[in-house]
Amino acid sequence: MKLNEANLDSVKTEYSKATGEATEYKKLFKEKNRIYFLLGTAFWWGLYLYLYLKEKEIFWSIVRFETNIALLALFVGLFFMPVIVYNLMAYKLFLYLKNPEKLMMQKMASDNNGTFVSGGLNIDNEKGMIFHEGSSRYASDVITFKDGENPVRFFKYSIIRGSGKNATTYCYHILIFQTSTSFPHMYLNYKENSYSMSIGEHLSLPLEFEKYFSLSIPKGYHLEALQIFTPDIMARIIDLPFKSDIEFVNNQIIFVLEDVENLFSNFSRFQWQIIGIKHLINLIKPKIEKASWSKVGDMPYVMK
């Protein structure tokens, strides 16, 4: 995959720069807005005091709104100028603090010759089980690019489980790698994250592996699953700096990365997750492409 170590280091540098600028601007905002407000207010009151003492006719015409519109607008504008400056600075600060993640996702897309689309993403046709969980689901901010001939998508995803006072929102980042070969439905559940999935039939695997993961498959497809989850693959999954649920459905490999809302709040963690995905795909892809799949009797190969 193109999301390699050097690429991620570049993104990290840009993000640090953006957040550093936001921090500095926040300090400037706190220090300067009070000064601007006080100076503007002092100027306004000073001007009115001068008019009261020296130009009482003009002063009272303004107070009584008896002056011409242009002069009245000038003095009203001078009065609100500190407020206008204050809010302009607040808005600029908001943009700095709001957008670093999207800016970095744009950079990730650019570095991978892909595209970034901000905003909501339609997931009605997604096949993964996580896209049918919860009482409410929302996907957004998708990066799309190609790894060789294989399309890759990376996007933010959240689901709400429970209702009322018991409702809880879970945030993830989803990476979907599309292969040229379809395969039976398999779900590898990582036991130590907040998302647990148990569907279909449980396939027993070595105890060392099952300390961390459980594998669900359609009934009757254990031989097909074992073509992928060979001892060397399971050993590498345990050793890799990578922990995530992984779903194999149709021709997609779906990685469910549990994370907080801000993708870059723990960049090192995100970095080793992506590196782990890269290594794992490099290991599994040849096995998938070489395997020969066929439907087992009338047994469905997709779990529900």
Identify which has the larger pLDDT, 212 or 78. 212
pLDDT in tens, 13-44: 655 665 555 555 556 556 655 666 666 667 66
- Please compute, for residue 277, the number of CA atoms within 13 A of its CA located in the half-sphere on the CB side: 28
pLDDT in tens, 155-176: 989 888 888 888 888 888 899 9
Does 234 have pLDDT greater than 80? Answer: yes
Average pLDDT rounded to a whole number, residues 68-94: 58
Q: Which of 166, 172, 236 is nearest to 208 (CA)?
A: 236
Does 252 have pLDDT greater than 90? Answer: yes
Average pLDDT rounded to a whole number, residues 131-160: 89
Contacts 24+ apart (CB under 8 A), 154-163: 154/108, 155/121, 156/263, 157/123, 157/130, 159/130, 159/133, 159/134, 160/134, 160/135, 160/136, 161/133, 161/134, 161/135, 162/135, 163/135
Give the whole-angstrom CA distance, residue 158 versus residue 136: 8
Instruction: Note if the pTM is more than 0.75.
Output: no
pLDDT in tens, 236-247: 888 776 678 899
Give buried/exposed letters for 117-130 (b at 16+ CB in 10 A, else e).
Answer: eeeebebeebebbb
Look at residue 154 in the predicted model and tell me its pLDDT: 92
Contact predicate 276/8, CB 8 Å: no
Cα–Cα distances (Å) from 142 to 117, 119, 155, in that order, read 5, 8, 4
Average pLDDT rounded to a whole number, residues 213-228: 87
Average pLDDT rounded to a whole number, residues 68-89: 58
Average pLDDT rounded to a whole number, residues 144-157: 90
Does 5 have pLDDT greater than 70? Answer: no
Contact predicate 192/212, CB 8 Å: yes
What is the pLDDT confidence band of residue 95, given thresholds at 50, 70 and 90? Answer: low
For the chain, what is the mean pLDDT?
75
